[in-house]
Amino acid sequence: MTKWLILFSGFLISYSYGQSLAQEVKTDHSRREAVIFGSDYKDILIVPKEYDRFTPDITQINSVERVLCKSIQGFRNNFRQYVGYINTESDSIILVSILSKKVIKKNQESWKREFIYGLGDFYERNQRIIYYNLSENKILKL
């Protein structure tokens, strides 16, 4: 089991380091940085490979953030990552990772090129993953 975990971890590290940098954006609804991963970002753990991808534009991101500002206390003070995909119902979904400053400090070398999704107590306190249905303008999972 340990050999499998080491091998799998090595694959993820080498796979994600081959990815291109995400596009940095300044949005209307936050004081912190945000990055948008393009449709060419292929992290198989966050979006299954059978889904089509799209690159969210700044207008779409501002629409999402307008809703999230009203729904999440302290949203403006967090860093964000965005990935777009089309689900099986042909809806446009934006996956949002909301990261505290502590997560950025811990992942400062990689957060602009790797979508962060951590496990354990630290990430449960300092990160939120949200699915937003852009087609229906509503939060799917908060």
pLDDT for residue 70: 93
Tell me the C-alpha distance between 111 and 120, whole Å: 18
Unique residue bearing structure tokens 């940085």: 33
Q: How far is CA 110 from CA 69, 104, 124, in A?
A: 26, 9, 19
Neighbours of 10 (CB within 10 A): 10
Tell me the C-alpha distance between 48 and 88, whole Å: 11
With contact defined as beta carbons under 8 Å apart, do 34 and 80 qualify? yes
pLDDT for residue 9: 39
Mean pLDDT of 128-141: 94
Q: Which residue has the higher pLDDT, 45 or 103?
A: 103
Q: Which residue has the higher pLDDT, 90 or 47?
A: 90
Instruction: Read off the pTM.
Output: 0.82
